[in-house]
Amino acid sequence: MSGQVGIIHVHSNYSHDGRDSLARLRELSLERDIAFVALSDHAEDFDAGIFAAFTAECARLSDARLRLIPGLEYRFAGFKGMHLLAFGLREWIAPETPADFARLAPAAAALTAVAHPVLPRYRIPPEVLDVVDAIEIWNAGYNTRYLPDPRAIRLLQRLRRRRPEVVGFAGLDQHDASNDRELRLLLDLDEPDPLAAIRAGRFRSRGRTMGMDATVSWSAARLGALRVARLFYDRVERTQDKVARWVRRPR
């Protein structure tokens, strides 16, 4: 595979619902020819001390072959489904509201994003949309591994009309690496800083069925066809996951 391959929106066992240690994520990523992992562990499981240990372990396990990039996923009381991502987080921050995140995260993180817009029903506070770098337009957990979210793409397109620098990306939302949902970000080999390249739009998202650039400037007709196709693929994904859970169930 040519180019630099990475995964984004990944949880380790620093999150209460993550199964994989950072060492295990490193091992599996190298087996899968992945060059960088942008982590987004749950901020509610952290404090300043845990964050310091987390970033130190990411640094210790990173080298020329693989970079583990520390980041956190924030959720907020009173904002159901609203999760915001801070990748490449350089310091501990503890925003209590989306407005706090909009104020603190841009200076503390290399890349900020709205996660799975379907959960807050695509209602994103304007102060967040004024500063965020990216929209997760394909979340492997909530949108299936097969197809992106047409409504999230429309959200990105509307935002790009006034902020054309905002990009859309495919995120794994991975909590268990044994279930690889196969979404990848593809960068040129000579990109020295993956998050800077993503923020600048120098990447492609790729999944099982399709790929897309950072702008996802698809027509209304194409988005309509995508919505119809999702009806089939969502059923396939749900069936596969039920079978997988049954197989893994202790006997």
What is the span of the domain harbouring residue 76?
4-248
Alpha-carbon distance 61 to 243, whole Å? 34
Alpha-carbon distance 128 to 135, whole Å? 11
Q: What is the mean pLDDT of the chain?
A: 93
User: Quick one: which H or E segment has residue 246?
Assistant: helix 220-248
What string of H, E and C letters represents the secondary structure of 181-244? CCCEEEECCCCCCHHHHHHCCCCEEECCCCEEECCCCCCHHHHHHHHHHHHHHHHHHHHHHHHH
Scan for tokens 């495919």, then name that residue: 170
What is the domain count for the chain?
1
What integer pLDDT is reported at residue 91 of this predicted model?
97
Write out pLDDT tens, residues 150-192. Answer: 999 999 999 999 999 999 999 999 999 998 999 999 999 999 9
Q: Is the pLDDT of residue 243 over 80?
A: no
What integer pLDDT is reported at residue 188 of this predicted model?
96
Q: Is the pLDDT of residue 3 over 80?
A: yes
What integer pLDDT is reported at residue 37 of this predicted model?
98
What integer pLDDT is reported at residue 174 of this predicted model?
96
50-59, 136-145, 218-227: segment of lowest average pLDDT: 218-227
Residues 6+ away with beta carbon under 8 Å from 163: 129, 130
pLDDT-above-90 percentage for the chain = 81
For residues 186 and 4, the answer to whether their CB atoms sit within 8 Å is: yes
Mean pLDDT of the region 139-157:
92
Q: Is the pLDDT of residue 26 over 60?
A: yes
What integer pLDDT is reported at residue 227 of this predicted model?
81
CATH code (residue 133):
3.20.20.140
The two three-digit tokens of residue 31, written as one number = 């087996």
pLDDT-above-70 percentage for the chain = 92
pTM for the structure as a whole: 0.90
What integer pLDDT is reported at residue 241 of this predicted model?
61
What integer pLDDT is reported at residue 170 of this predicted model?
98
What integer pLDDT is reported at residue 61 of this predicted model?
98
Burial of 53 (0-12, 13-18, 19+ CB in 10 A): exposed
Q: Is the pLDDT of residue 214 over 80?
A: yes
Write out pLDDT tens, residues 69-105. Answer: 999 999 999 999 999 999 999 999 999 999 999 999 9
User: Of residues 239 and 47, which shows the higher confidence score?
Assistant: 47
The two three-digit tokens of residue 150, written as one number = 């047409």
222 confidence band (pLDDT: 50, 70, 90): confident
Q: Is the pLDDT of residue 250 over 80?
A: no
